[in-house]
Amino acid sequence: MSRLLPIATIVAALLALWYVAALFMNAPLQRDVFANAGRTDYSFGDLALADLNMERPKLPAPHQIVAELDRLVLQTAPTSRRGLVYHALITLQETLLGFVIGSALGAGLAILIVSVRALERSIMPWIVASQTIPIIALAPMIVVILNQFDITGIIPKAVIAAYLSFFPVTVGLVKGLRSPDPLQLDLMRTYSASSAQTFRKLRAPASAPFFFASMKIAVAAALVGAVVAEVTKSEDGGLGARLLAGSYYGQTVQIWAALLAAAALSATLVGLIGLIEAFAARRMGMAG
């Protein structure tokens, strides 16, 4: 409870700020609208009300976005191309497929790196360096290259989502698998545990916190990858395609609705992993 009130205060303050910003940012546009319609006798109240209910505002007011979300999510059939659920599901599929492939490969590579010393010294610096480069710049090219091989639809986006989620998992898991301290490793040695046993009973459980932390980063990165990939090939639909379409036609309310949907999707996925983490921590007796 002690955290709920401060968060609610901040959210309320942000919403108030948003309304004020919408008033000021939309006012010049709305004055032009009134001027074009030949209206000069409008009061401040008229202007303010019109500001917050424009069709293509510079900054849509929160209630307009909520109304748009209501129209696109609740009032439209989930299977309709015009609804947001249809596009969100496409993005979700790409994200999940990419996340599963990317984190499986990332985890596999991390286990390899931890078990083969030569690999760590030759590959690991590259993987760490890859964290500093804007890998996402590759997205448009991957879509086009896969297109050459007649691979279209959700697969190219999933591939991009996969390589964006791959690196954080490898880096986090290598750190996690190396996290047991020498004392614990020595203890395993005095038990004459095989390296497989050490892995299963010490390294793997010790890596759990690192594993889940990197999973959260990876799933958020996978979603970003999917959305950006959709922007580069927008005819297949998805939330990124909605963003691009909205920016072509100046439909600001639509952009904000798509953005909020993407944000909600991301927060839900990260939250789900958090739940699994809490469950796993309780099963492992680490709930604190």
Q: Whose CA is closest to 165, among 195, 197, 192, 130? A: 130
Report, in Å, the least distance between residue 213 CB and other proteins. Answer: 12
Q: Using the rule CB under 8 A, give the single segment among 69-77, 169-177, 205-213, 243-251 that binds other proteins.
A: 243-251
1 binds other proteins (CB under 8 A): no
Report, in Å, the least distance between residue 135 CB and other proteins. Answer: 8
| H helix intervals, 139-181 | 139-148, 154-177
Q: Using the rule CB under 8 A, give the single segment among 77-85, 191-199, 204-212, 258-266 that binds other proteins.
A: 258-266
Q: Cβ distance 155 to 94 under 8 Å?
A: no
For other proteins, the binding residue among 173, 202, 218, 223 (CB under 8 A) is 223
For other proteins, the binding residue among 154, 158, 215, 243 (CB under 8 A) is 243
Report, in Å, the least distance between residue 113 CB and other proteins. Answer: 12
Q: How far apart are CA 142 and CA 34, in angstroms?
A: 48
247 binds other proteins (CB under 8 A): yes
- What does residue 34 show for φ and ψ, rounded to 5 degrees? -60, -40
15 binds other proteins (CB under 8 A): no
122 binds other proteins (CB under 8 A): yes
Q: Cβ distance 52 to 61 under 8 Å?
A: yes
Q: Cβ distance 26 to 57 under 8 Å?
A: yes
195 binds other proteins (CB under 8 A): no
134 binds other proteins (CB under 8 A): yes
For other proteins, the binding residue among 9, 80, 195, 197 (CB under 8 A) is 9
Q: Cβ distance 48 to 23 under 8 Å?
A: yes
Task: Write out the two tokens for 78.
Answer: 């989930």
Give percent helix, percent strand, percent coil of the chain, each to the nearest 5.
80, 0, 20
For other proteins, the binding residue among 160, 188, 224, 257 (CB under 8 A) is 224
Report, in Å, the least distance between residue 162 CB and other proteins. Answer: 16
Q: Whose CA is closest to 87, among 226, 221, 247, 220? A: 226
Q: Cβ distance 21 to 59 under 8 Å?
A: yes
Binding site for other proteins (CB under 8 A): 2-3, 6-11, 25, 58, 118, 121-126, 129, 131-134, 136-138, 140-141, 143-145, 148, 216, 220, 223-224, 227-228, 231-232, 239-240, 243-244, 246-247, 250, 252, 255-256, 258-259, 262-263, 266-267, 270
